[in-house]
Structure 1
Amino acid sequence: MLDSLAVLVGKRLQGYRLVNSKFPPIALFDDVADAADFDTIYQLQTITNPRLQNELGRLELIARTEIPFGITGCSYATAPFTHVNPAGSRFSNGSFGVLYVADTMEVAIAEVRHHQGQYWSKVQGLNYERFVFRGLACRFSESAMRDATVLPLSDPIYAPDDYSHAQLLGHQAKRENCPGLRYNSVRSPGNICWALLTPRLVSSVIQAAHYEMVWNGQIISVSRITTLSAE
């Protein structure tokens, strides 16, 4: 299927995503300028910081050359590729990471709201809870990505809860070193998302706001609670 999707030109874009605030930025990714510095400092810090490996995640899942050292928010760009959800996602079976970005913050919220609702509905005895997320503004290039927006929402890759076809496409894209996919938002039809299979196309990730989701048997509200400059 991948070969039937057009290759995108190098348009530079700004997208948005949400991350749970309980996961802080990873300082080491942001504190170094290149791979050589990273490896040197990493070796030194592992001697005195036994928690460092847990903070950085599975570094073996990403090549040093794929990490965009030196950009603002490098840790936000890289974390999805070292802290991989073993349960998988739409375009990954859990063996590799994906950086998901939406065309607006509202779409990012809709996507996360759906998945959070699914997750917490399976937790027995959870009657009320609030969750805080960081809103992120992500600047990136879609150069050489494949365009799956030409496929209608009726295509199997857009099945609401069956990711098997989408994961086959994602696996093929990963295997063929495709940097990512542009696709239609399932949770907000008419909008666009991107699945970045590498962080190297990201030029900056800046915290834009905080959002609170309130759970009471379902997510009953989403509120912006702080706003920061995304410039």
Structure 2
Amino acid sequence: MVTAASLSPLRGGQSTKSYRLVNSKFPPIALFDDVASADEFDILYEIQALTNPRLQNEVGSLKLIPRSEIPFGINGCSYATAPFTHVNPDGSRFGDGSFGMLYLADTMETAIAEVRHHQQAYWSNVHGLNYERFVFRGLVCQFDEVGVLDATTLPFTHPIYAPDNYAASRALGTDVKKAKAPGLRYHSVRSEGNTCWALTTPRHVASIIQSSHYEMVWNNEITSVNKLVAGA
């Protein structure tokens, strides 16, 4: 079984550009973007909690991430932090549902391919859904790969790349988390030949900014993905 100790860390030291696609029904969490430090965040959170009963739902579970790992003051702090405070209990490829992962891709096309696969699987289980449009927000991320473990050295036939069996990949992700490594670089399973990252912390993210919007059209399956033009 592959472990965190068996993978080499990347040297990093320079900005890596990556892409992400998130459902537009999830707005940015303003509180993360309104402050520049953990102290300011705690003060503002306490003040807003007195008058905003929805605050905890908006911010998520703060106990899941140390304040020291939240990159306060960057553009798009909320985009970087949200995956760690709003964790999918069903898990993901490298997460067992007990901790968050920030998934990024080398191109927007790769990000779309990854999200399209999972949306297809999800909506296929919704009975009676014949036609719908789902809008997603494209994000551009800059981060430092320093310390990220390189799983692209493993062949595409390795069990962590199994299309639908996440047993090996989740075991590796849990070990990476326990080892306090900042994440993994790995082969995209849904866009062969491309690369993705699964970050266990947002602390090395320098910025995440919104780019374009995309719609996925569902007609008993996802029939198309379209880039939306502003003002059209």
**TM > 0.5 fold call:** yes
SS of the residue aligned with 1:48? coil
Normalized against structure 1, the TM-score is what?
0.97
Deviation by residue 1:151-179 (Cα, 9 ceiling, x = unmatched): 11110000001111000000000011000
Distance 2:7 2:87 in 1: 26
Distance 1:150 1:90 in 2: 18
State the partner residue of 1:87: 90
The answer for unaligned runs of 5 or more in structure 1 is none
State the partner residue of 2:166: 163
Distance 1:2 1:125 in 2: 44
Distance 1:146 1:76 in 2: 22
Does 1:13 find its partner at 2:16? Answer: yes
Equivalent residues in 2 for 1:1-231, closer than 5 Å? 1-10=3-12, 11-226=14-229
The answer for unaligned runs of 5 or more in structure 2 is none
Report how far residue 226 of structure 1 moved: 3.1
**Equivalent AA in structure 1 for residue 199 of structure 2:** L
Distance 1:164 1:130 in 2: 32
Deviation by residue 1:17-75 (Cα, 9 ceiling, x = unmatched): 10000000000000000000000010010000000000001111000000000000000
Whether the 8 Å CA contact 2:4–2:179 is kept in 1: the answer is no
Deviation by residue 1:173-228 (Cα, 9 ceiling, x = unmatched): 0011000000000001100000010000100000010000000111000000036x
Distance 1:75 1:226 in 2: 25
Distance 1:152 1:212 in 2: 33
Whether the 8 Å CA contact 2:137–2:210 is kept in 1: the answer is yes
Distance 2:149 2:15 in 1: 15
Runs of 4+ with >3 A deviation = none
**Equivalent AA in structure 1 for residue 33 of structure 2:** D
Report how far residue 2 of structure 1 moved: 1.6
Report how far residue 6 of structure 1 moved: 1.0
Normalized against structure 2, the TM-score is what?
0.97
Identity of aligned residues (%): 66
Report how far residue 4 of structure 1 moved: 1.6
